[in-house]
Every structure is written in structure tokens, then in C-alpha cells.
């Protein structure tokens, strides 16, 4: 069993009963303690790293000697520093991560902590204590695979949660459907069957094979991630916490801007709130703000040149769409209905293919392989 299966099994068998059978005020703290215990057993480094960054990101705001601006800067810096240490290309090339390992769910909780620091600086958070903050961070269902939920929502739900059989049943169903997505669509259809087809096509139709492998990579990534998100949302529901949706049929989006409102929503909305909006209000440069947000979105996955380029390509796509989109004031009734339908369909197709093509950058291990695949795709 891999880590994920252990998390699911432990959440269902260990956490869920505790979350309802114990006396009310012990329920969620016990969930956190069990989460910490689980992490200590599975990966002590993860538990330590989360506890350290959580304590600092909370504790720095208690320091009376610092100005609020310094508190937020230091709090964010320490989270980002730990994240960069583990997520950059450098230690990967040193083979460091294979010996030490990467803390579980690092990217997710780093961004949660940054969100917390900024909102705390802006004084928008509800009154809470350190234990509430730890409960938010040490929450096993969303620890490993997100979504990057927000503290105020979590806090509100943790206060309001009541036993609800329908919600519980919905949670179970989400887990089952999520697993079905991962195993039946992701593993069976996209990985196994389609990979066989691509393998047999390779000798005689290399272009077609490259094209299908491109599509396969992006769709498989989506299906697996969406499936895992479903499982995480379902597990949270079992404990009575509602975490936000992470995907809304992104491949049906008719432009890249809309796509990123429907794909990995918790990350893209984070980038909108904490990169795009501040950059826009500081510089008044939408182009800069868009590029900045998409670069951060790319680098979140991994601090590497490949994800930097991938993020830049997403930003570029959004900017191109902005440049050519119909001005919002123009009357839409001027065109017949079939025309707008065709245009919409075309948009969906172009967006999907653009996204798949950009994923080539992260699919291949080096730039030479990217170049090879591109020539295979277009040079014939």
C-alpha cells in the first residue's frame, strides 16, 4: 500500500469514528493529534517540518517587538524558505530528496500558511487560538493532495459541524467515485489501454503516437488529480468539514482564462488573490500581474526551469486570449446561434490542445526530448 492508501484507510477507520464518538470539544483536536501521530510514524521529517513552520507562522505574529509588516514578511519567508529547500531542482540533482525525502503535502501547507499570514496581516481572520490554527493545518484528509482550503472557511465549518447522515453518505460516495476515476479511467483506460495503443502505433505512425501520448499525459494528470481531490473532499465530509471543489470540468472551458477558473481551482484562486490582485493594484499592469500569477502557479509544482516555462506558457495563453477576445460591450446577438456554438466548440478544442501542448514541457525530462517530440508532431 502506498502512503495515499494508508491515509485513506487511517482516515476512515481511525479519524472518522473519533470525530463523532468523542465528546464534542475533543473531536477535532483528536483528529489533529492522530494526524500528527500518523505523520510521525509515516515520515517524522514531515511532522517536524509542519510543526516548525506552523509554529513560526503563528508565533511571529505574537512578537510585540516587530511591526506588522515585518511579521508578515518573516512569516511568509520562513514558509517559502523551507519549501524552496525541498522543492528546488538543486537538491533533486544532488539526490538529496531520495535520502532525506520531501515532507508530505509541503506545497499545500506552504501556500496555506502564506494565505494565513496575509489574511492575518489584513486582520480579516476570525478570533482564534493556536490550537485552531494547528487543527486547520494538521488535517489528514487534505494534507497530502489538497485542496488548498482557506482558514476562515475551515474555522467556520469546524464550529458549525453537526452529525448529518446525508453529508456522511455523500462523503462515502465521493471517495468511491474518486477512486473509480483514478483506477478505472486513469489507470485502466488512460494508462493501460491507451498506452498499449500508443505503443503499437509508435513504429508506423510516430506523429499520431506522439500526439496521443501528449493527450494521454494531460488527461491522465487531470483525471488522477481530480480523483484524488474527490477522495480528499469525501474524507473531509466524513469528518463533517466541507472543503472547496478543486475542478469543474476544465476541459470544457472555451478559453484559457476560464480553464484556469475550473482547473485546480484552489491553487488558481490562491494565485489570483495573493499574486494577481496585489500585483495589479501595485503596478496597474494587467500583463505583469497575469504573468506573475501564472509563474507562481507553475513554480508551486516544483521550483524548476521546466515549471517556470510551463507557468509562463499558461500566462502567455491567457494574455493572447485577452488580446483577441471580443470586447465585452459588443452585442452578441449580431451572430446567428450556430455561429456562436461553432466558435465555442472551436474555443474548447483550441484551449484543450494548447494546455496539452504546454504540458509537454513537464512531461519530458529534458529540453532535448521536448524538441524531439515537437519535431515529431509538426515536422511531417
Give the shortest CB-94-to-other proteins separation in angstroms. 17
User: Residue 107, interface with other proteins (CB under 8 A)?
Assistant: yes
Which one of the listed residues 93, 128, 205, 301 is annotated catalytic? 301
- Euclidean distance between CA atoms 44 and 8, whole angstroms: 19
262, 249 in Cβ contact below 8 A?
yes
Q: Which three cell numbers stand for residue 134?
A: 494547528
344, 253 in Cβ contact below 8 A?
no
Cα angle for residues 203, 205, 211 (degrees, 5° grid): 115
Give the shortest CB-360-to-other proteins separation in angstroms. 16
Q: For residues 164-203, which are near other proteins according to CB under 8 A?
A: 164-170, 172-173, 176-177, 179-180, 182-184, 186-188, 190-192, 195-196, 199
Locate cell 483506460: which residue?
189
Q: At residue 241, what are phi and psi to the nearest 5 degrees?
A: -110, 130
x/- contact string, 290-309, with other proteins (CB under 8 A)?
A: -----------x--------
Among 27, 224, 236, 254, binds other proteins (CB under 8 A): 224
187, 2 in Cβ contact below 8 A?
no
User: Residue 43, interface with other proteins (CB under 8 A)?
Assistant: no
Output 255 or 363, the one with its CB closest to other proteins.
363
Q: Is 115 a catalytic residue?
A: no
Look at residues 82, 235, 130 and name the one whose alpha carbon lies nearest to residue 172: 235
- Euclidean distance between CA atoms 201 and 359, whole angstroms: 21
- Give CA 122 to chain center in angstroms: 24
Among 15, 28, 106, 117, binds other proteins (CB under 8 A): 106
Output 71 or 216, the one with its CB closest to other proteins.
216
Annotated active-site positions, please?
Answer: 301
Residues engaged in binding other proteins (CB under 8 A): 2-4, 102, 104-108, 144-146, 162, 164-170, 172-173, 176-177, 179-180, 182-184, 186-188, 190-192, 195-196, 199, 220-221, 224-225, 228, 301
Amino acid at each position: 500500500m502506498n502512503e495515499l492508501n494508508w491515509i485513506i484507510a487511517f482516515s476512515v477507520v481511525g479519524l472518522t469514528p473519533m470525530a463523532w464518538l468523542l465528546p464534542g470539544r475533543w473531536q477535532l483536536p483528536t483528529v489533529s493529534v492522530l494526524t500528527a501521530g500518523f505523520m510521525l510514524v509515516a515520515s517524522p521529517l514531515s511532522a517536524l517540518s509542519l510543526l516548525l513552520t506552523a509554529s513560526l507562522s503563528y508565533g511571529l505574529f505574537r512578537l510585540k517587538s516587530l511591526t506588522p509588516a515585518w511579521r508578515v514578511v518573516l512569516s511568509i519567508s520562513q514558509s517559502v524558505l523551507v519549501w524552496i529547500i525541498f522543492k528546488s531542482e538543486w537538491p533533486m540533482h544532488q539526490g538529496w530528496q531520495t535520502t532525506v525525502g520531501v515532507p508530505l503535502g509541503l506545497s499545500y501547507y506552504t501556500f496555506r500558511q502564506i494565505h494565513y499570514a496575509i489574511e492575518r496581516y489584513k486582520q480579516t481572520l476570525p478570533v482564534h487560538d493556536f490550537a485552531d490554527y494547528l487543527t486547520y493545518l494538521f488535517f489528514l484528509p487534505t494534507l497530502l493532495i489538497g485542496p488548498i482550503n482557506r482558514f476562515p472557511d475551515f474555522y467556520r465549518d469546524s464550529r458549525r459541524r453537526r452529525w448529518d447522515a446525508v453529508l456522511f453518505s455523500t462523503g462515502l460516495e465521493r471517495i468511491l467515485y474518486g477512486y473509480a476515476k483514478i483506477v478505472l479511467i486513469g489507470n485502466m483506460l488512460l494508462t493501460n489501454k491507451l498506452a498499449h495503443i500508443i505503443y503499437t502505433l509508435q513504429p508506423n505512425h510516430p506523429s499520431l503516437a506522439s500526439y496521443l501520448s501528449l493527450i494521454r499525459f494531460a488527461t491522465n494528470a487531470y483525471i488522477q488529480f481530480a480523483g484524488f481531490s474527490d477522495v480528499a473532499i469525501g474524507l473531509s465530509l466524513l469528518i463533517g468539514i466541507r472543503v472547496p471543489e478543486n475542478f469543474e470540468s476544465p476541459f470544457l472551458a472555451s478559453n484559457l482564462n476560464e480553464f484556469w477558473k475550473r482547473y485546480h481551482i484552489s491553487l488558481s484562486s490562491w494565485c489570483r488573490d495573493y499574486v494577481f490582485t496585489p500585483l495589479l493594484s501595485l503596478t496597474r499592469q494587467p500583463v505583469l500581474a497575469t504573468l506573475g500569477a501564472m509563474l507562481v502557479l507553475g513554480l508551486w509544482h516544483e521550483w524548476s526551469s521546466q515549471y517556470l516555462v510551463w507557468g509562463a506558457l499558461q500566462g502567455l495563453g491567457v494574455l493572447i486570449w485577452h488580446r483577441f477576445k471580443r470586447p465585452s460591450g459588443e452585442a452578441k446577438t449580431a451572430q446567428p446561434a450556430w455561429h456562436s456554438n461553432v466558435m465555442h466548440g472551436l474555443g474548447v478544442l483550441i484551449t484543450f490542445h494548447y494546455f496539452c501542448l504546454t504540458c509537454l514541457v513537464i512531461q519530458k525530462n529534458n529540453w532535448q526530448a521536448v524538441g524531439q517530440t515537437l519535431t515529431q508532431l509538426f515536422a511531417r
